[in-house]
A = this chain, B = another copy of it.
Amino acid sequence: MSDVSDMRQRLVSAATKIMEGKGTLSSPSETAGYLIDWRRRYRGEALAVMLPTSVEQVSELVKLGRSLGVAIVPQAGNTGMTGGAVPISDRPSMILNVSKLNRVRDIDSQNNSVIAEAGCILANLRETLEQAGKLFPMLLGSVGSCQVGGLVSTNAGGINVLRYGNMRDLVLGLEVVLPNGKIWNGLKVLRKDNSGYDLKQLFIGAEGTLGVVTAAALKLFPQPTNSGTAMVSLPSIQSAVDLLRVFADGAAGKVEAFEIISKGQLENVLSHHEESPPMPLSSPWYVLIELADSSIDWDPNQVFEQVLAGAVERGVIHDAVIASDSKKAGRLWKLRHTISEANMRKGFSVANDTSVPISKIAIFIEQVDKRLKQEFKAADVYYAGHVGDGNIHVIIVFDRAFYDTDKKREKAAARANFMVHEASVNLDGSISAEHGVGLMHIEELERFKSEVDLEMMAQIKRAFDPDNIMNPGKVLATSRIDAARNVAV
């Protein structure tokens, strides 16, 4: 019997006892779906996939992994963009999938809070809360399959960050199984707590490298009762930034979304639709704006008319369309939501996830546009993203006829990503605004973060997980964690 199958047998046997005969998957046909990310870019190996049903089982499984030297890879909906939930191949690993921890433990309407387990699917959670008259505002493309544990562990963003913040802003408390197997009950639902270090912050966005998030206490909001949608065309990206300020002042806190789309991107989307464009395509930039609120006597379309009329007069925008009903609003939003699909059809599409200060969006786009177009002749460069977060996705669609091998495509993608990352960092930006580091950005992080940043990260990792048992090879290079062992702070 090989070492691997021997270890698998010991692991499965002990895990089966812990989980009372259920939820241990070890045959290739059972585990295959858990070992690959949804974009099919990363494929890993694991001795087994565990599907615990209680936090106590999670705790026992972590202790088991620790005692056997088997790495633990926390996984929730497995919808991540950077391979953070895929095991690496150079360590014996188990996937600890939290999907079966999916109870909504408590809804507190007066406190505007909910306690949801890590395996709750976002769409289900939102629906449950809607029935209770409440809004949980996190919303992103994978709403139908992403789960609370992953949203917390990647500090998810999505389209409503401008108004409601990232996942970090929505978390009141956490329950976490630590790398030593202890259960930390930090499920507070308080708005204010300064009794010691704010420990939950460590686990938000840590991508499972510091522990397994098993439940979260989350903030709720009133359901917006009035909403409105408009699309505008603009002469420049700077005009979009200026227009956002006008809305942020005149409709403070009611701007739910402010999504920019470049002309080329919009044209590509429209070429896949049979509908006619919502407005003449004679401007270089378009912004989709959503206003919503539950305020008494507040009319979003009145705000639109007032603000946009002034903006046309001052030359900030060229033209505007206000959706007169929800069907027309849906048609406008469809243009935004089919961007990925349209680009995939057109060619080999690479999307970046950088952010820069809002004041530097215009110069950032000017710089990357020039450099990318110089470097790649057989590619289209598009832009789409969240102006209010400084998070503009730079999208390069490579011509498949020209970049006709996997190798050529991967090389071009790596080069393009580096150029975009470099431009962002030089403008005090980030190489990963909302998708995290995962496997994908480990090397880029080493390149673009300061030594002091990386040392501090390694010290935290070492303090919580000295044996690097929890999701190794993610966020931080293993070499850096090892180095930290021998270095005085």
Contacts and interface: CB of A to CB of B under 8 A. Distances in A.
A198 B111 contact: no
A83 interface: no
Which of A111, A389, A441 has the most CB atoms of chain B within a 10 A radius of its CB?
A111
A445 interface: yes
A78 interface: no
A110 B449 contact: no
A430 B190 contact: yes
A241 interface: yes
B431 A195 contact: yes
A450 B355 contact: no
B357 A111 contact: yes
Contacts of A104: none
Interface stretch (A25-33, A89-97, A117-125, A244-252): A244-252
A197 B205 contact: yes
Contacts of A450: 184-185
Contact of A195 (B157, B307, B437): B437
Contact of A457 (B196, B302, B465): B196
Interface string A407-438: 00000000000000000000011111111110
A356 B245 contact: no
A206 interface: yes
A390 B111 CA distance: 9
A389 B189 CA distance: 11
B192 A391 contact: yes
A441 B195 contact: yes
Contacts of A155: 194, 198
B253 A252 contact: yes
B355 A192 contact: yes
A72 to B, nearest CB: 15
Given A111-B358, A253-B293, 6 more contacts: A111-B390, A178-B456, A188-B430, A190-B429, A191-B391, A202-B202
22 contacts: A110-B245, A168-B198, A169-B169, A179-B489, A189-B357, A189-B428, A190-B357, A192-B389, A192-B434, A194-B205, A195-B431, A195-B445, A196-B453, A197-B206, A197-B456, A197-B460, A224-B252, A252-B294, A254-B295, A295-B298, A297-B302, A463-B489
Interface of A: 108-113, 154-155, 157, 161, 166, 168-169, 178-180, 182-186, 188-199, 201-202, 204-206, 221-222, 224, 241, 245, 248-254, 293-298, 302-303, 306-307, 355-360, 386, 388-391, 428-437, 441, 445, 448-450, 452-454, 456-457, 459-460, 462-466, 475-476, 488-489
